[in-house]
Amino acid sequence: MQPLRVLIIGGGVGGASLAHGLQRSGAPVDVKVFEREEHPHSGLHGYRVGISPQGAHALQQLLPEDLFKMFLHTSALPPKHFVMLDQHLDRLLAMNISSVPEDSVKKHDAQLPVDQEHSVSRMNLRQVLFTGLGDSLLLNKQFVRYELHDGGNCTVTAHFADGTSYDGDILIGADGSRSSVRKQLLPDEKVFETGIIALAAKFPLSVLSDKGKSNAPDLPEECQRAVTILVGKNGVGGSLHSMAFRDASQLDAAERDNFKDLLDRCEPSMQSWAHWALWGSEDKFQADIDQRKGKGVMDAAKDLIKQQGWSEGMLRLIELSDPSSAFSIRIKTSEPRKAGWEPSDHGVALLGDAVHTMAPGKGIGANTALKDALQLCNKLVALSSELKCDIDTPVVGPERRKLVKAAIGAYEEEMRGYAYPAVIASRSRMDARGWEHHYPLYSAILYWCMCTLLRLVDRSSGFKELMRRQMIKGRAREEASE
């Protein structure tokens, strides 16, 4: 038997999930994941990622059943409400978005993965995805370049900064928005700045329920377990996300023992917390914003709030945050190609942010990467069968190259079909070219109209239900769910 050797560059959401899917398939595939970070807790930006029902469905098919249960357990309780506040932190709209009974949510009901949004700690998700890969996961591997071999089987070699190299039949670039694999495979493919800068930090979850105590802002009760959007003028916006976690008592003794190491690694991130984010066009920030860390980022956030005339309550919320958790980031996006590219008969392909970097405006980047992983997993499992990797005389030569190119090409065509519209939709929410960033009168009128409309919707249960359904349908369309 000569297994299909798959080299995955990058151990993020898409790359690690693909590795699990290939291992779970039982197909004759030998997979290795090369992660540039030295430690499993290093290198993450951001705190929360929203995994949609469609994303959870893909993850459920890729992960072993017991590990998927750990994904559920280490996730926060799903958001119960969707809330919108104006820049004075006054309520514009609040509605229940949970379609699952509360007791089912807490018990991890079997229908939960496809029926409910999942609020996930980025750190916990990484710990889950790194679990069970064993020797297939190699840390501290900084990818440098790949080398193609034009012999009969058309193999590929990955070279790393430590001087090591690995041979494979397939090489997948899952190495993020600054992908070194993309730079070699598609040198003309660029990632652009949207002109938007975002700031974020964590704060105690209790702040959302203190109702004026401990200098906390007076926020609507629904914010305690919600996705909260902050609407401001001049293109400035923000969000609040609450993260309340379950405890290990809901797992039986065998599960706690089997995953003790994973649960121990996740435990620091499972102390309930929340975080805020603020964003605006780069002209609204200090020239040194990229160099600021910790308290300097929080000072920049407070300056932005004062500059835009936001509520004193938002200033107090920032002051109650953990300075060590604060960071700034420039929002970037891919520029979708008008035409595709020639598939590689050497089996080199891209996945996730490496090929379709998305602004976080729609919150669908991770879910699209999971769909990539599932689609590519299915294609590679089928390819291993077509190449007859389970016998001692697999397909070689021109026929092998033809089959590899067809499998990679089929994946890339499908991926462009659902990912590129998602890139465009995500950029529309975070693009400094919009008039609201540059014309104060236009922005003020837009702000007044939006606030008025949302308050009217908030008074009508019928309109709120219609809006809730449209949000669900719109998210499904953006992900091109099956």
Query: Which residues lie below 8 Å from residue 399, measured CB to CB, with a gap of 6+?
Result: none
pLDDT tens for 420-429 read: 988 988 888 8
Q: Are 200 and 322 in contact (CB under 8 A)?
A: no
Q: Is the pLDDT of residue 13 over 50?
A: yes
- Residue 244 DSSP symbol: -
Token pair of 197, please? 């800068």
Mean pLDDT of 170-193: 93
Cα–Cα distance, 288 to 241 (Å, whole number): 27
Q: Are 123 and 76 in contact (CB under 8 A)?
A: no
Give the E-state strand segments of 175-215 in sequence order.
191-204
pLDDT tens for 95-118 read: 988 765 555 555 554 445 456 788
User: pLDDT value at position 110?
Assistant: 43
pLDDT tens for 254-302 read: 777 888 888 888 877 788 889 999 999 999 999 999 999 999 999 999 9
Token pair of 353, please? 């942010």
How remote is the C-alpha of 48 from its chain's centroid?
8
Half-sphere exposure of 186 (CA within 13 A, CB side): 24
User: pLDDT value at position 224?
Assistant: 87
Q: Which residue intervals of the chain bear CATH 3.30.9?
A: 77-115+191-334+439-482
Cα–Cα distance, 355 to 375 (Å, whole number): 15
Query: Who has greater pLDDT, 277 or 247?
Result: 277
Q: Are 107 and 67 in contact (CB under 8 A)?
A: no
User: pLDDT value at position 369?
Assistant: 95
- Residue 151 DSSP symbol: S
pLDDT tier for residue 173 given thresholds of 50, 70 and 90: very high
Query: Who has greater pLDDT, 389 or 402?
Result: 402
Estimate the crossing angle of helix 53-62 against helix 65-74, to 10 degrees: 140
**Which numeric CATH code is attached to 77-115+191-334+439-482?**
3.30.9
Q: Are 174 and 13 in contact (CB under 8 A)?
A: no
pLDDT tens for 286-342 read: 999 999 999 999 999 999 999 999 999 999 999 999 999 999 999 999 988 877 889
Mean pLDDT of 342-349: 89
User: pLDDT value at position 63?
Assistant: 96
Q: Which residue intervals of the chain bear CATH 3.50.50.60?
A: 1-36+141-190+336-430
pLDDT tier for residue 30 given thresholds of 50, 70 and 90: very high
**Closest to 369 (Cα-Cα) out of 423, 431, 428:** 423
Q: What angle do CA 297, 301, 303 make, to 5 degrees?
A: 115
pLDDT tier for residue 481 given thresholds of 50, 70 and 90: very low
pLDDT tier for residue 249 given thresholds of 50, 70 and 90: low
Minimum mean pLDDT among 45-49, 224-228, 340-344, 420-424: which range?
45-49
User: pLDDT value at position 476?
Assistant: 56
Minimum mean pLDDT among 18-27, 383-392, 431-440: which range?
383-392
User: pLDDT value at position 482?
Assistant: 40
Mean pLDDT (the chain) is: 87
| Among the four given CATH numbers 3.40.50.720, 3.40.50.300, 3.50.50.60, 1.10.1840.10, the one describing domain 1-36+141-190+336-430 | 3.50.50.60
Write 478-481 long-range contacts (CB < 8 A, 24+).
478/362, 478/364, 478/421, 478/422, 478/425, 479/52, 479/54, 479/55, 479/364, 479/367, 479/368, 479/371, 479/418, 479/422, 480/371, 480/417, 480/418, 480/421, 480/422, 481/54
Token pair of 402, please? 């033809």
pLDDT tier for residue 44 given thresholds of 50, 70 and 90: low
pTM (two decimals) = 0.91
- For 68-94, letters b (16+ CB in 10 Å) and e give bbbbbbbbbbbbbbbbbbbbebebbbb
